[in-house]
Amino acid sequence: MGLEKFIEIAGQQFVRENLMSDDFLDFLQENRRPYETMIAYYRCAIMEIETKFKVLNEQFSLQYDRNPIESIKTRIKSMESLLKKARNKGIALNMAAFEEEIRDIAGVRVVCSFLDDIYMLADCLLSQDDITLIERKDYIENPKPSGYRSLHLIVEVPIFLQDEKRSMKVEVQLRTIAMDFWASLEHKLRYKKNIPDSEAELLATELTECAQVSAALDVRMKEIRNRIALAEAEHEEEKKKPQTIGDVLLKKTIYH
Ligand code: 0O2
């Protein structure tokens, strides 16, 4: 028998004995409905959190004439990555254990215009009385070795069902446009196969350097915004000052 045929037969046998074993089929059967219910609850929790950020964005738009949020993306962890995480962390294969131990089944990613907006929005969210902070990881202050930056909050939010109230965990990732740009590209490249080890190492270094460039860009953009805000405030102050006859005559001379 050729090697290819042998691998094919061994593969089929593995699937029959493991993925199609009675135990595994029973697990799927028993957990299909609870899984769908759990995912529906997480979708509700995502709606709650997303609405909170949309309300904040609306309020800032009315009050300060600007939107701190560029975009909001949401996702539910796929069954595949859920099972992978459960396997890697040795979590029991049942929905209660998933809910208890996997805290990023529901994810909300908020992309902000400026660095300061991240912390301002995080504070606004956490000060709401139905939100409980479970964990805060500041990968902006302490970037990951890869160069990854974002502020992560694991929060609990209640959802109100027909006859019960449930607390659901949601992972909120707050980042700037520059952080999001870097993370999206890095995520895509990470899953590229067939890159020789030496090249992969060089690419990782290159990506870390790009993360540093993007961090510097965020700081410069923040400074530019502060200078614009200062110039605007000074202009407003100037407008409020009582004018003398001399000022009026001077303006007339300049502008006419
Ligand atoms: P996906 O597809 O985004 O869901 P924990 O979840 O607390 O048990 P973990 O996994 O270390 O522990 O959590 P962490 O590091 O706080 O956050 C994980 C998530 O952050 C990832 O989700 C990514 O979304 C993002 N992330 C973390 N590090 C990196 C990185 O180096 N590059 C990029 N592009 N994203 C990163 P998932 O589950 O990996 O994937």
Q: Which residue has the higher pLDDT, 251 or 188?
A: 188
> What atom in ligand 1 is closest to the CA of residue 109?
24
Catalytic residue among 171, 206, 236, 238: 171
To test ligand 1's pocket by mutation, which of 146, 155, 187, 203 has the most ligand atoms within 8 angstroms of CB?
187
Which residues form the pocket of ligand 1, taking CB atoms under 6 Å from any ligand atom? 77, 103-104, 137, 144, 146, 148, 152, 183, 186-187
Choose the weakest-confidence range: 99-103, 203-207, 250-254.
250-254
- Could you give the percent of the chain with pLDDT greater than 70? 92
Residue-wise pLDDT for 80-98, tens only, equals: 899 899 999 999 888 899 9
Torsion angle defined by CA atoms of residues 126, 129, 135 and 136, in that order, rounded to the nearest 10 degrees? 10
Instruction: Decide if 151 contacts 118 (C-beta within 8 A).
Output: yes
pLDDT-derived band at 248 (thresholds 50, 70, 90) equals low
Instruction: Decide if 128 contacts 94 (C-beta within 8 A).
Output: no
Over residues 70-77, the mean pLDDT reads 97
CATH superfamily of this structure's domain 7-238 = Beta Polymerase, domain 2 (3.30.460.10)
Q: Which residue has the higher pLDDT, 107 or 93?
A: 107
Phi, psi of 110 (to 5 degrees): -110, 115
Over residues 234-253, the mean pLDDT reads 74
pLDDT-derived band at 244 (thresholds 50, 70, 90) equals confident
CB atoms within 10 A of CB 136: 13
Residue-wise pLDDT for 28-68, tens only, equals: 777 788 889 999 999 999 999 999 999 999 999 998 888 99
pLDDT at 18: 66
Residue-wise pLDDT for 117-168, tens only, equals: 999 999 999 999 999 999 999 999 999 999 999 999 999 999 999 999 999 9
Residue-wise pLDDT for 183-201, tens only, equals: 999 998 887 778 888 888 8
pLDDT at 256: 47
CB atoms within 10 A of CB 251: 11
Q: Is 171 marked active-site?
A: yes
Residue count of the chain: 256
What does the DSSP assignment read for 152-190? EEEEEEEEE-SS-EEEEEEEEEEEEHHHHHHHHHHHHHH
Over residues 243-247, the mean pLDDT reads 72
pLDDT-derived band at 253 (thresholds 50, 70, 90) equals low
Query: Domain locations in the chain?
Result: 7-238
Q: Is the pLDDT of residue 255 over 60?
A: no
